[in-house]
Each structure stands twice: as C-alpha cells, then as structure tokens.
Amino acid sequence: MRQLDHHAAAVRDFNRFYTTRIGALGDSYVDSGFSLTEVRVLYELAHRDDPTASEIAETLALDPGYLSRTLTSFRKRGLVTARPDPNDRRHARLRLTAAGRRAFAPLDERARDTVAGLLQPLGGAERARVVEAMSTIRRTLDRDAAAESFTLREHRPGDMGWIVHRHGALYAEEYGYDERFEALVAEIVARFIKKLDRKRERCWIAERDGQIVGTIFVVAKSKTTAKLRLLLVEPSARGLGLGARLVDEVVRFARGAGYKRIELWTQSELTAARRLYEAAGFKRVGAEKHRMFGKATTAEFWRLELRSTP
C-alpha cells in the first residue's frame, strides 16, 4: 500500500506539471473562452461523423447530465445542431455548425502549436523518447487498445538469441531458475533451426511497436503429435490476451498441419501459463517431482486431443 501511495503521488505530480505546461488550468483553456472539457467535446464533434451524446459521453467518460448541459449551451450559441437518428429515434445525431467549426479551428491550431512548442527544443531522439513514453502509458492503462496493438510474425535471424536470453533472464528473476534452464532453451531453439520442417513446425514472434513481447513454438514429436514449446510473454504485455492468442495460433496451425494431438511440458508453479492451457482445452495427463534448474519443482504433462476439439 505504501508503494501504491508513492506511485499515485508521482502520477498526480506529473499531471500537475503537464496540465500547467499545456495551459489546461484555469477557467478557460488557453484563454479561449472554453473550458478544457468543452474543448474535448468540440474535438469529438469535429473529428467524428455525427456522433450521439451517449457515444461522446462514453468516449470521454463524462457524466451524461454534465454533457447534456454542455451541448445545450453549444446549441444556444449556434455551435451545434441535432437531428433525429434515422435508425433509433431515441437518439439525436450531433454535428458542428459552420460557426462551430470556425470556433473550433483556432483552438485546434493553438493546441497543436502548444504541443509543438514543448517538443521543438528537444532533439529527435528526445522527442522519440517522449512520444514512446506516452505510448507506453496509454498501452498500459488502456487495456483494450493495448490488446489490439500486437502483431505476429515468423522468426528471422537474431530472434533465437533473444528467446534464449529472455527465457534465461525472466525465469531467473521470477522463479529462481539457474543457467541450466537457459541452456535447455538454447538446445531447443538450436534443434528447431537445424531440423525445421516449415510445413509442420513454426515459431511465432509477437511484436508491439517494433519490440518483441512474446514467443511460442510448435514442433513435431511424431507424425500425429505436435509439441507446444517456449511460450513466453513479456511482463509489459501480460494481461492483454496475448498469451491466449499465441496458444490459439499453435492449436490452429497444428490442426491445419494434420496433427491429432498437441502435448506440452510445463512446471506446476507456472500458474498463468497453466490457466492458458486449460482455457484452450488442454488436460493435465501426468506429473512428477524432480529437481532441475537449481530447485525442486513438479513437472506437468498436458495434452489436447484435436480430433475431439470443435
């Protein structure tokens, strides 16, 4: 709780800094005669095709009553018109009038100039870091947008070294595994590259903004059995559905390649991964205690029968 309070104070401090720098404080946004909220509503009206009040309220997380009063004020000032929605007469479609667009144009230009003024003194690399930091904040807090931001591709030169490194580093940090786990991963990826059958085996690399954030493999155990291997999701990308998407890719590919089942080997302490496997229809078929990677743990064997999977 103490750490959470510290982080909350840091966020509030940044908010005070940033809102002051962009002129968002005071009764009028950058001396425009409009409040910051009113400017946000005007922005939505200017950049959306005839939205309804409920759509704007949802986008801006505004109280419907407050938004209704704002829109009433805009209509009285001749800035907005409303017409019945032909598909739902309970709602009205909103649109800026010519006067509304004339009122919004200088606000939009001033906002762009304000932000450009913040970035102009910075070098290209510094600007890129600022923009990336803002993107990271949005992806982290806006889970729906973050979930749509992943792209999957096949492996290419350099990826296998990254996979070995991140498995070694993350499993040491999160589970206390020693370097023997990293050695095992190196053996798996080396065997994959040397004996790769592209029709029946594949590695997926998940990226977000050009950075690798996850991986998974499917390899042949026999003509009828595939193995799911080396599922990894970076901490920054967890909780967004990426793990489930990677597992689904393996299942889809294995079914298309003609396998009858998929097997995997995992450890009982990898609870997040085990939940993904169970959700995808895998069943635990065995377990054994052992001592590997410098600690005692329980290995688990899971299987998905593709013939019985709809």
Q: Which of 15-19, 269-273, 289-293 has the lowest mean pLDDT?
A: 15-19
For domain 2-121, the CATH architecture is: Orthogonal Bundle (1.10)
Please state which CATH number belongs to domain 151-305: 3.40.630.30
Per-domain boundaries in the chain: 2-121, 151-305
Kindly report, residue by residue over 62-86, the tens digit of the pLDDT: 888 888 899 899 999 999 998 887 7
Residue 23 phi/psi, 5° resolution?
A: 75, 30
Task: Show contacts of 102-107: CB within 8 Å, 24+ apart.
Answer: 103/34, 103/42, 103/79, 104/42, 104/43, 104/45, 104/46, 106/32, 107/29, 107/30, 107/32, 107/34, 107/39, 107/42
Phi-psi domain of 217 (left: phi exceeds 0; alpha: psi -120 through 50; beta: other): beta
Contact 261, 297 (CB under 8 A): no
Kindly report, residue by residue over 146-187, the tens digit of the pLDDT: 556 789 999 999 999 999 999 999 999 999 999 999 999 999
Please state, in angstroms and rounded to a whole number, the distance separating the CA atoms of residues 305 and 298: 23
Contact 294, 266 (CB under 8 A): no
**151-305: same fold as 2-121?**
no
Distances (CA, A) of 161 to 4, 189, 231: 36, 9, 15
Kindly report, residue by residue over 246-277, the tens digit of the pLDDT: 999 999 999 999 999 999 999 999 999 999 99
Kindly report, residue by residue over 20-42, the tens digit of the pLDDT: 776 666 556 666 678 888 888 88
